[in-house]
Structure 1
Amino acid sequence: MADATTISATEFARGFARIQEDVREYGVIKVTSHNRVVGGFLSPKEMENYERLKRREREILKAGQLPDDLVAELEASRDLHGE
């Protein structure tokens, strides 16, 4: 792979067995065709994150109604960014 997180559609099709293992390390692998991203391959962890975000995409909550796990994620994010 030239860039570990981006591969051509041809390489994706030909090297799927190897790419299944690589995605665990990289999280997301972008698949390109004619130098344009046409899709992506997600690790199981990233797939869980994506599904969680999709479920919450249209969920409207007031600050006092935020689930504990979301509050913890927000606090962890703040800590990572030094705020």
Structure 2
Amino acid sequence: MQRFSSLDLQRNVARVQEAALRESVTVSYHGRDRLVIMPVDEFERLRRRDRVVVAIEDLPDEFADALSEPYANPAQAALDHLLDD
């Protein structure tokens, strides 16, 4: 991923845009990463990966059963003592 300063972006918008079409670029401000510029098709691909929210009634039984268990993995129960004050 290429990095540009915000000053680079102001002075060379076309160059930064061309770089962002090849791969995502990071824009920094006062030495800190602040923005990522990426091609629209990559942004859309990432958006399609967003989670889908469903009602618990619509979950398959195996998932609903797992949610009702106090521990998904019995080994996790052994760590409860670390939470005691």
TM-score (ref. length: structure 1): 0.54
Q: Where has structure 1 moved over 6 Å in runs of 4 or more?
A: none
Measured in 2, the distance between the counterparts of 1:12 and 1:45 equals 21
**Any unmatched runs of 5+ in structure 2?**
61-85
Max radius of gyration: which structure?
2
Give CA-to-partner distance per residue, 1:39-76, whole Å, 9 cap, x none. Answer: 111112221123213xx2343576xxxxxxxxxxxxxx
Is 1:24 matched up with 2:26? no
**Which residue of structure 1 aligns with residue 35 of structure 2?**
39
In the superposition, relative to structure 1, how do residues 32 and 48 fare at CA in structure 2: closer, same or farther (>3 Å)? Answer: same
Query: Offset at 1:36?
Result: 0.7
Identify the match of residue 59 of structure 1 among 35, 39, 53. 53
**Any unmatched runs of 5+ in structure 1?**
63-83
Q: Are the counterparts in 1 of residues 4 and 16 from structure 2 also a CA contact under 8 Å?
A: no
TM-score (ref. length: structure 2): 0.53
Measured in 2, the distance between the counterparts of 1:32 and 1:39 equals 7
User: CA-atom RMSD, angstroms?
Assistant: 2.1
Q: Are the counterparts in 1 of residues 20 and 38 from structure 2 also a CA contact under 8 Å?
A: yes
